[in-house]
A and B are shown apart, each in its own frame.
Chain A
Amino acid sequence: MATLAADVPARGLATAQACALWGLEAQLVRVEVDVSPGLPSMHVVGLADTAVRESRDRIRSALRNSGFEFPLRRITVNLAPADRRKEGTGFDLAIAIGVLRASGQIAAHGDADPLLIAELALDGSLRPVRGCLPRVASAATQGAREAIVASANAAEAAAVDGIAVRAASTVREVVAHLDATAPIACVAPVVAADGPLDVEVDFADVAGQASARRALEIAAAGGHNVLLIGPPGTGKTLLARAFPGILPSFTPRERFEASVVHSVAGLLGPDRPLLAARPYRAPHHTLSAIALVGGASPPRPGEVSLAHRGALFLDELAEYPPPALEALREPLEDGRITISRAGAAATYPARAILIAAMNPCPCGFFGDADRECRCLPEQVGRYRARISGPLLDRIDLRVGVPRVEAAALRAGPAESSAAIRARVERARARARARGVLANVELPLSQLRRWSRLAGEAHLLLERAVAKERLSSRGYHRVIRVARTIADLDDGDEIAERHLAEALSLHREL
């Protein structure tokens, strides 16, 4: 016969509220805990993965080390809805509180049924979980009014409107709040603001490279992708590093969207509750397709999603594994990626500006005025063929980056990032007037509506098509870029010079 503490009743049933995350999609989960006579055991049912089932060991230790009783009964935990997969450690706190309620160690909760999101340490302290921001945000839209999270997650959770967020650091604090002996105050909402721009290179420090600078300005203004192609040491990487400095500041919606992805990847912290500036990701070319676009089981966002609303820089594009590059096609086209795995599919946003750089040939000096290229023509062809046509089709702006001559280096400082950024902001404001954040998001029907061509521009377009300078697929892409160029020029109508420049940037390299 097991001896039980006198104040633990023989049986009990209680619930607590948690939230499950799949991809960026979150759903409220009702944690049901049943304590009944039987052999001491604890079962978690409701399609829980290993991390959830392991929670019983953490919960047992955490409760005992916090001075509570872990009932030596038969404990059944159900996570409802039971047909949806649950993963991760974010259910620990909700299950622990459910156990305490079912075993009568917390007074009946009445109205107070807060959302509980935290992982437990064995000593009873609360640890942060990945994806706290989207969980709290979804819960708020699904009707939850109060949430208790680990202190380390407090700042990001507080960014959500319409829900009271309280932060606790131990199970005891949570219990004290629930039985109203020591209520926890709400966390003050975070005022999201632009942090100081952490950009290594200013465009004022980039000598020459007029056409590449112009292409990057157009890219930032319209959200278009860019390919920089040129010999090594000509400043392709420098140009790409300077790029974040001309990106427009976040709109609140963009900041939230980007921060959610970073929350799911566990990249937000108390010191960095929301992204201060647009993300800039520059993964090395040895990464796998899954690391680039996301995947694994349970799914995690890849680099292209982490760069959502920001820029993704792929240096030495031809060196990336072909499967990784081909996997980029869907996110580049649609601005999101859906990862289907057994059981469920997760969709991550992936509206990033791709800045790709590559050498023109294996040795790198093809077309260089100073150094002789040692590659055979077929080697050059093979090297360039690594970038498939469909991928290249999705890169609207292609520029040759030449070696900078001494004359350009001697010239005074070039235009600063701030000056370029001001023009980019104005162009983006014109795009917002059309109901999108950037021209790259304009659906075709809207593009037609907003892209009135001047008479001469129309003739030019006809000629370009007749001369096979433009494919039908390229047609709309060129018009879209021309729309951005006209925006930078503050023009309502697309003039011949806008279209000609867009065609020029659409050139085969």
Chain B
Amino acid sequence: MILARSDPAYPAHLAQCDDAPARLHVRGTLRREDEIAVAVVGTRAMTSYGERVARDLGRDLALAGVTVVSGLAHGVDQTVHGAALDAGGRTIAVLGCGLARFRGSVVRRRLLERIVITGAVVTEYDDDVSGSPWTFPERNRIIAGLALATVVVEAGAPSGALITAARALDYDRAVFAVPGSVYGPKSVGCNRLIAEGRARLCRGAADVLTEVGAMLPARELPRLPLSPVERAILDAVAGEARHIDELARDARRPVEEVSATLTLLELRDLVRGVGDGRFVARTNVTAR
């Protein structure tokens, strides 16, 4: 699908930008509620700290009903998209090449297909345009334009994520940066943004949500895609940690099924084991 800038379905926030692309190629669906979007970007060569932050941000923003925008690159982008999808939220990937020319790893190609099902993959380039050193920085303005706020998770000294942040500032959108170690080469960019007062400090999704929260209209929050057994177990561990045996008895399910289900939920970051066979739901996922 191709959206012209004059089309009413063209993303409204992006349309406000002077240099917005004339035409947008879309795979998947763009919805009204995607207006409430936050971009999360960062380095391809992330550290384990960056991965953890990206995963938590992607999940928690998605659970708050915010559409998560990123660039489907290696590292932070990929992690954020995945976390948002796992939480059952919406996510938009902006490519720096034509839709037919996406050349990612198997994992990212598979991720792209998942995004198309429950979100959208967009680009300003025609199908046969390959990615090149200048298309990716250009693409970053679309990421910044689609989102109400941009969060930089990890960025080195020169970094594409910093370009996205600069464009967001140009568009007068909020910019957040996740602080890192003062010695960390992957945190130099983020720390500088904060030091220069150009970005606000982001300690987690809550910091971003207070900024965009005022703009959130009352609407239904996403429901996690869960099977009945998964939902029953997630509800059962919402308040306090409980043992597998207890859960199996209360749910009247065989213990092997409960045990397997808990592992699947754990791999989706919805519950965590506290040792000795007990589990508790992660915060932010309760009552969904």
Contacts and interface: CB of A to CB of B under 8 A. Distances in A.
Contact of B245 (A366, A402, A497, A501): A402
A267 B216 CA distance: 78
Contact of A500 (B255, B260, B275): B260
Name the prevailing secondary structure of the B interface residues: helix
B261 interface: yes
Given A211-B259, A505-B259, A400 B243 contact: yes
Interface string A382-406: 0000000000000000011110010
Contacts of B267: 460, 463-464, 467, 469
Contact of A229 (B262, B273, B276): B276
B202 interface: no
A450 B263 CA distance: 24
A210 B257 CA distance: 11
A505 B255 CA distance: 12
A400 B275 CA distance: 8
A402 B249 contact: no
A400 B274 CA distance: 11
Contacts of A367: 274-276, 278
A504 B275 contact: no
Nearest to A208: B245
Contact of B263 (A209, A405, A504): A504
A501 B255 CA distance: 10
Nearest to B244: A211
B112 to A, nearest CB: 16
B248 interface: yes
A245 interface: no
A2 interface: no
Interface string A328-353: 00000000000000000000000000
B256 A407 contact: no
B246 A485 contact: no
B136 to A, nearest CB: 25
B259 A504 contact: yes
Nearest to B267: A463
Contacts of B273: 507
Interface size class of B (residues with CB under 8 A): 20 to 34
Interface in A225-281: 229-230
Contacts of A229: 276
B260 A405 contact: no
Given A214-B255, A214-B256, A400-B243, A501 B263 contact: yes
A360 interface: yes
B277 interface: yes
Contacts of B263: 500-501, 503-504
B61 to A, nearest CB: 20
Interface string A459-471: 0100110010100
A408 interface: yes
Given A367-B278, A400-B275, A504 B243 contact: no
A107 interface: no
Contacts of A192: none
Contacts of B276: 229-230, 360, 366-367, 400, 402, 509
Contacts of B262: 504
Contacts of A399: 277
Interface in B266-287: 266-267, 273-278
B264 interface: yes
B236 to A, nearest CB: 15
Contacts of B266: 469
B275 A509 contact: yes
Nearest to A459: B110
Nearest to B250: A407
Nearest to A368: B276
Interface string B229-245: 00000000000000111
B243 A500 contact: no
Interface string A477-509: 000000001000000000011101101110111
Nearest to B259: A504
Contacts of B275: 360, 367, 400, 508-509
A380 B267 CA distance: 27
A402 B260 contact: no
Contacts of A469: 266-267
A31 to B, nearest CB: 60
Contact of A405 (B246, B248, B257, B277): B246
A507 B91 CA distance: 32
Given A400-B276, A400-B278, A407 B249 contact: yes
Contacts of A400: 243-244, 275-278
A401 B244 CA distance: 10
B264 A402 contact: no
A402 B243 contact: yes
Contacts of B244: 210-211, 400, 504
A402 B277 contact: yes
Contact of B260 (A230, A407, A497): A497
Nearest to B240: A369
B249 A408 contact: yes
Looking at A208, A367, A508, the one whose CB has the most chain B CB atoms below 10 A away is A367
Interface string A28-51: 000000000000000000000000
Contacts of B277: 211, 399-402, 509
Contacts of A501: 256, 259-260, 263
Contacts of A209: 245
Contacts of A401: 277
Contacts of A211: 243-245, 248, 255, 259, 277
13 contacts: A208-B249, A210-B245, A211-B244, A214-B259, A360-B275, A405-B246, A407-B249, A469-B266, A497-B260, A501-B256, A501-B259, A501-B260, A504-B259
Listed from nearest, the 8 A-B pairs whose CB atoms lie closest are A400-B277, A400-B276, A500-B260, A210-B255, A504-B263, A501-B260, A504-B259, A367-B276
Interface of A: 208-214, 229-230, 360, 366-367, 399-402, 405, 407-408, 460, 463-464, 467, 469, 485, 496-498, 500-501, 503-505, 507-509
Interface of B: 243-246, 248-249, 255-257, 259-264, 266-267, 273-278
